[in-house]
Amino acid sequence: MGGYLLGYDVGSSSIKATLLSIDNGKAVTSATSPDRELEIQAPRPGWAEQNPEVWWEHLLKATEKIASSGVKLADVEAIGISYQMHGLVCLDRAGVILRPAIIWCDSRAVEIGDKAFADLGPDRCLEKLLNSPGNFTASKLAWVRENEPEIFASIDRILLPGDYIAYRLTGTLNTTPSGLSEGILWNFAEGRLADFLLEYYGIAEKMIPPLVANFAVQGEVSAEAATQLGLKAGTPVSYRGGDQPNNALSLNVLQPGEVAATAGTSGVVYGVGDTPGYDSASRVNTFVHVNHEQGSPRYGTLLCINGTGILNSWLKHNLMTQQGTAPATGGAERGVRASGERASGVSYEQMNALAASIPVGADGLVVLPYGNGAERTLENRNIGASIRGLDLNRHGQAHLLRAAQEGIVFALKYGLQIMEGMGLRIDRVRAGAANMFLSPLFAEAFATISGAAVELYDTDGSQGAARGAGIGVGIYDLEGAFSGLKQVRVVEANADLADPYEEAYQRWLKELQRILSG
């Protein structure tokens, strides 16, 4: 058959593009832009914004890198898009962006969503939305209405981040049921737009774009976009999915009982079921999965920890010194750098090695990783990240790195216990061999504390988007799309470390509960 499928993964940290061979289902080449994580603007505490034009700019750059490898982009047969969930892009009638996008980890709408939950009734919201309106897209739009009325009056359409990228590629405005469900704009019980919530918020239904299926031709590459990207005009955009449902797709997690995980900027466990379920406090959330159909329902229950890879990145860019000068343990006499010296040069691999040099429990040091906005597992509280039990005579960089990785795993464990309370049993988890799962310590700690074997695969979100594009145009069916998916290794729980990890988790949990009850 020949030809390629092109997948884009539009995240809050970077934009990645992968070209997949149709013949063997394997990645031919991939590229990421920028080289360092994208900046998230925080004009006020708890806010998180990005300019959608920046996403498009780096999508162009990633595509240019793909083209520089010598492949012919004119041979791309279909395009798929994965994107950061829960964001809000506001356009006027001319398609002009009215304000920076309010992205997934922004906390400004928490009180608005909580009030809607109480006013509309928890039972009604959970029955029809499976979630509290919480801090999701609908509530973010309500915030704009209340606080930026002039901008709100100019809005013609609102889009999720992936909807915006599809619009830039095709000139066509549309969205998906799966996307609306992640914005808490979808009535699960009735299979249609959540008009009762829109009415409560004073949002006109005409602001919501027309619906298309996740796997379907959603538009064709315009002449303008084709010129910018080097693609063939008329190339179909045939798949769109939020980053976590798409991560599940990339791992062939599509059937009830299957579970996916990821540990990028945020950390997520995502379990698929065929019946809708909910947590009464909306600490974990249920959305329409990408392969949901009327006669074959599929729902994804999502546990999210905002402060995951972003914590590791913060440590790298703010606290780590050049290789050879980073002390493995604490103490001024061991060469802690002078105040004001800029951290640089230490790789994530070196950080992982330093962390692994310290025993389980990091000598009593505890890190709570909640520093990236309101956390759903904490009922939308924003308690910030914190370090507990720091001993200036014993603890150094390596202890902090170990405690940070353990703290993320423990936060996921805390969320998994909520999922278990909903009746979801997790014995095996599939994840891409990427981001924090590249750390042997992190992967083993996750497997050990959760009791679930971790199957790691050579895939990522951009590959998933490319496979989805192939499904959307009928090149693949749901089985044939994964012929090129390769398992890298399986990480089993370490029975010898089960007790030390449990002891460390209980110490971590005690510190969390102390803050929550304070």
Segment 236-260, tens digit of pLDDT: 999 999 999 999 999 999 999 999 9
Asked if 143 contacts 115 with a C-beta cutoff of 8 angstroms, the reply is no
pLDDT at 493: 97
pLDDT at 340: 32
**C-alpha distance from residue 132 to each of 72, 110, 261, 278, 279 (Å):** 47, 10, 23, 10, 10
pLDDT at 325: 40
The crossing angle, in degrees rounded to 10, of helices 461-472 and 243-250 is 80
Q: What whole-number distance in Å separates Cα of residue 117 and Cα of residue 321?
A: 47
pLDDT at 343: 41
Nearest CA among 303, 282, 296, 295 for reference residue 127: 282
* Unique residue bearing structure tokens 């240019």: 64
pLDDT at 32: 97
In this structure, what DSSP letter does residue 265 have? S
- For 106-129, the DSSP string reads --TTHHHHHHHHHHH-HHHHHHHH
326's tokens: 């980073």
107's tokens: 């906390």
In this structure, what DSSP letter does residue 295 have? S
Tell me the average pLDDT across 226-235: 97
48's tokens: 């998180």
Q: How confident is the model at residue 2 (pLDDT cuts 50, 70, 90)?
A: confident
Angle, CA 405 vertex, CA 404 and CA 406 arms, to 5°: 90
Antiparallel, parallel or unpaired: β 76-83 and 236-242: parallel
Angle, CA 308 vertex, CA 303 and CA 310 arms, to 5°: 135
Q: Is the pLDDT of residue 234 over 60?
A: yes
Q: How confident is the model at residue 327 (pLDDT cuts 50, 70, 90)?
A: very low
Amino acid (1-letter code) at residue 153: A
**C-alpha distance from residue 358 to each of 102, 349, 398, 456 (Å):** 39, 15, 7, 24
Amino acid (1-letter code) at residue 62: A
141-189 tens-digit pLDDT: 999 999 999 999 999 999 999 999 999 999 999 999 999 999 999 999 9
pLDDT at 1: 58
459-470 tens-digit pLDDT: 999 999 999 999
417-458 tens-digit pLDDT: 999 999 888 999 999 999 999 999 999 999 999 999 999 999
46-57 tens-digit pLDDT: 999 999 999 999
Q: Is the pLDDT of residue 323 over 50?
A: no
Q: What whole-number distance in Å separates Cα of residue 77 and Cα of residue 73?
A: 9
Q: How confident is the model at residue 321 (pLDDT cuts 50, 70, 90)?
A: low
pLDDT at 110: 95
Q: List CB contacts of 327: < 8 A, sequence separation 6 or more.
A: 334, 335, 336, 396, 397, 398
Q: How confident is the model at residue 294 (pLDDT cuts 50, 70, 90)?
A: confident
Helix H or strand E segment including 423: none
pLDDT at 336: 27
Q: Is the pLDDT of residue 282 over 50?
A: yes
Angle, CA 376 vertex, CA 109 and CA 123 arms, to 5°: 80
Q: List CB contacts of 148: < 8 A, sequence separation 6 or more.
A: 99
- Which residues lie across from 80 on neighbouring strands? 7, 239
Please give the domain boundaries of the chain with CATH numbers for all domains.
4-250 (3.30.420.40), 309-455+490-516 (3.30.420.40)
**C-alpha distance from residue 80 to each of 9, 249, 310, 415 (Å):** 9, 12, 26, 30
Asked if 78 contacts 63 with a C-beta cutoff of 8 angstroms, the reply is no
Q: List CB contacts of 89: < 8 A, sequence separation 6 or more.
A: 52, 97, 101, 158, 159, 160, 161, 163, 164
Asked if 169 contacts 63 with a C-beta cutoff of 8 angstroms, the reply is no
Tell me the average pLDDT across 8-19: 97
CB neighbourhood size of 484 (10 A): 18
389-413 tens-digit pLDDT: 999 999 999 999 999 999 999 999 9
Tell me the average pLDDT across 255-282: 94
473-506 tens-digit pLDDT: 999 998 899 999 999 999 999 999 999 999 999 9
341-359 tens-digit pLDDT: 344 579 999 999 999 999 9
pLDDT at 420: 93
72-120 tens-digit pLDDT: 999 999 999 999 999 999 999 999 999 999 999 999 999 999 999 999 9
pLDDT at 112: 98
**HSE-CB for 254 with a 13 A CA cutoff:** 17
pLDDT at 341: 35
